[in-house]
Amino acid sequence: MKSALFDYVKPKSITQAIALLQEHGDDARILAGGQTLIATLNMRLSDPSLIIDITGLDTLQGIRFQGEHIRIGALVTHTEIEYDDLIKKHVPLLTTAAPYIAHRAIRNRGTWGGSIAYADPAAEWPTCLLALNGIVIVQGPEGERRISADDFFIGLYMTALEPDEIIIACEIPIASTTHWFAFEELARRHGDYAIVGMSAVGDQIGHTLNNLRIVLLGVDTTPIRAFKTEHMLEGKSLDDALIEVAVQCLRDEIDPLPDLTNTPDTKRHLATVLLKRLLAKAQYKQEI
Ligand SMILES: Cc1cc2nc3c(=O)[nH]c(=O)nc-3n(C[C@H](O)[C@H](O)[C@H](O)COP(=O)(O)OP(=O)(O)OC[C@H]3O[C@@H](n4cnc5c(N)ncnc54)[C@H](O)[C@@H]3O)c2cc1C
């Protein structure tokens, strides 16, 4: 299928892009990497009358230090994140998670900002951003707003972004010397959207994990934190017995939604498998 007809504009500034969003409201769509939008247009799941192509806005590019944070521009591609040295050193969770996103061709074009804006509950970047306690920076007619990832993902493909706002970047705290992270997911084939996935971030001292943020993808309408399991593990010494208690805690805590091929029970089981793997990594790290 081919998309319905639309007008196309490539603005020269963010201000111009925002003015177009204000003028056209829900009839306009931002185009970034196009890896989701073009598919939805061609399948006629979306038929905007205006496409606003932001790929010429250089201020949305780049990965750099911003105080105690790493700032990732909205137009940075998945591949750029995968191979960036600053990311590898200071936000290594993203380096680990990147290869799980689709295939190389999609990672070469798809953007960080597009993934955060689209807010697919099975996508890797929203889950990582929430685990990393990141901040989404958006710009609208009134200027910039900074929204915590905790408040950004509010429903199925729904975010705190207003219709006349654009994501310009995200900021993520730089990893501390005790930083611990892990990422795992289960998909039928590599490159498919995951059935269930998990990002976890904390501070590790010896066998103990603190300040844990454990986030699941593919189980609810948004990425979700496993608050009870985080709390249960906080400050305790990891061993096989504790991991079994944590697995039981997660099993009781989550209430997964089914998808076309997986029941809630299957997803609950898979989530516990992932937790066990993640915690075993933290335990093993201290024993080598
Ligand atoms: C076959 C296939 C498999 C895929 N598998 C995965 C996967 O396993 N994991 C995964 O995470 N993703 C996957 N994707 C999606 C891919 O990662 C997309 O790149 C991403 O979801 C959207 O980024 P984009 O830059 O392509 O955005 P676009 O397609 O250009 O836009 C997506 C949406 O976000 C809006 N938008 C884009 N940028 C901004 C911005 N800066 N501010 C405000 N709104 C904006 C657009 O208006 C649109 O509504 C897959 C895609 C395909 C086609």
Report pLDDT digits (tens) over 48-105: 999 999 999 999 999 999 999 999 999 999 999 999 999 999 999 999 999 999 999 9
Rounded to the nearest whole angstrom, what is the distance from the C-alpha of residue 174 to the centroid of ligand 1? 25
pLDDT band at 286 (very low <50, low <70, confident <90, very high): low
Rounded to the nearest whole angstrom, what is the distance from the C-alpha of residue 212 to the centroid of ligand 1? 28
Does the structural domain 58-173 have CATH classification 3.30.465.10? Answer: yes
Cα–Cα dist 100/98, whole Å: 5
> Which residue type sits at 274?
L
Selection from 86, 277, 91, 83 nearest residue 196 by Cα: 277
Where b means 16+ CB within 10 Å and e means fewer, 69-89 reads bbbbbbbbbbbbbbebeebee
Where b means 16+ CB within 10 Å and e means fewer, 2-38 reads ebeeeeebebeebeebbebbeebeeebbbbbbbbbbe
Query: Does the CA dihedral 103-107-109-112 come out positive or negative?
Result: positive
- Given a cut of 70, whether residue 280 has pLDDT beyond it is yes
Please indicate, yes or no, whether the overall pTM of this predicted structure exceeds 0.95.
yes
- Given a cut of 60, whether residue 1 has pLDDT beyond it is yes
Q: Which CATH architecture has domain 7-53?
A: 2-Layer Sandwich (3.30)
CATH superfamily ID and name for 180-285: CO dehydrogenase flavoprotein, C-terminal domain (3.30.390.50)
Which residue, by CA, sits nearest to atom 17 of ligand 1? 110
- Which residue ranges have their beta carbon within 6 Å of ligand 1? 29-37, 39, 74, 101-102, 106, 110-111, 113-115, 117-118, 123-125, 166-167, 193
Closest ligand 1 atom, residue 126 Cα: 11
Rounded to the nearest whole angstrom, what is the distance from the C-alpha of residue 14 to the centroid of ligand 1? 19
- Under 8 Å between Cβ of 156 and 220: no
Q: Which long-range contacts (CB under 8 A, 24 or more apart) does 31-37 make?
A: 31/55, 32/74, 32/75, 32/111, 32/113, 32/114, 32/117, 33/77, 33/109, 33/110, 33/111, 33/114, 34/109, 35/102, 35/106, 35/109, 35/110, 35/114, 36/110, 36/114, 36/118, 36/120, 37/114
What are the distances in angstroms from CA 285 to CA 10, 41, 57, 67, 238?
Answer: 49, 46, 43, 30, 11
DSSP state of 77: B
What are the distances in angstroms from CA 18 to CA 10, 36, 137, 139?
Answer: 12, 21, 14, 8
Cα–Cα dist 52/281, whole Å: 44
Looking up tokens 């932001």, which residue turns up? 54
Selection from 151, 126, 141, 144 nearest residue 60 by Cα: 144
Do the two domains 7-53 and 180-285 of this chain adopt the same fold? Answer: no
Cα–Cα dist 181/175, whole Å: 9
Alpha carbon 217 to its chain's center? 9
- Given a cut of 70, whether residue 288 has pLDDT beyond it is no
Which residue, by CA, sits nearest to atom 52 of ligand 1? 35
Q: Mean pLDDT throughout 32-46?
A: 95
Mutate to test the pocket of ligand 1, among 6, 14, 18, 30 (most ligand atoms within 8 A of CB): 30
Mutate to test the pocket of ligand 1, among 6, 22, 35 (most ligand atoms within 8 A of CB): 35
Helix segments in 104-160, DSSP class H:
104-109, 112-118, 124-131, 149-152
Rounded to the nearest whole angstrom, what is the distance from the C-alpha of residue 201 to the centroid of ligand 1? 24
**Domain segments of the chain: what residues?**
7-53, 58-173, 180-285
Which residue, by CA, sits nearest to atom 27 of ligand 1? 114
- Under 8 Å between Cβ of 209 and 238: yes
pLDDT in tens, 232-250: 999 999 999 999 999 999 9
